[in-house]
């Protein structure tokens, strides 16, 4: 079982029905800690920056977005990082 221990409240914007609110997206790969990433969490779309995802270094989500990790985040067909969890509960 995987636990996501990072609270993203206030640091993400949510996309519903294809309408995005929040910052524009860059596909930066590992990029700088200020890089903005789009996430697809169980069909709910979020935008956040890399620093937010790495804020708790021992969390599973931080490891997914760390350069030296053996486990990497995967992308969906639209190029958003896919996380197989309940998208509403992820907030």
How high is the mean pLDDT of the chain? 74
User: Over 31-67, what HEC string results?
Assistant: CCCCCEEEEEECCEEEEEEHHHHCCCCCCHHHHHCCC
Rounded Cα gap, residues 41 and 90, in angstroms: 7
Q: Could you tell me if residue 68 is inside a domain?
A: yes
Domain of residue 68: give its range.
13-83
pTM over 0.75? The answer is no
Based on the structure, what is the number of domains in the chain? 1
Angstrom distances, CA of residue 60 to CA of 15, 19, 56, 82, 83: 23, 28, 9, 14, 11
CATH of the domain at 65: 3.30.710.10
Q: Is residue 26 part of a domain?
A: yes
Please report whether residue 3 resides in a domain: no
Residues 2-45 pLDDT 10s: 333 344 444 444 444 444 443 333 333 445 778 899 999 999 99
Determine the Cα angle at 66 with ends 64 and 21, to 5°.
Answer: 65
């Amino acid at each position: 079982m995987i636990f996501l221990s990072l609270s993203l409240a206030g640091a993400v914007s949510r996309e519903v029905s294809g309408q995005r609110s929040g910052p524009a997206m860059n596909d930066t790969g590992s990029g700088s800690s200020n890089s903005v990433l789009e996430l697809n969490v169980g069909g709910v779309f979020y935008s956040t920056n890399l620093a937010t995802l790495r804020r708790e270094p021992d969390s599973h989500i931080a490891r997914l977005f760390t350069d030296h990790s053996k486990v990497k985040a995967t992308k969906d067909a639209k190029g958003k990082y896919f996380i197989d969890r309940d998208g509403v509960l992820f907030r």
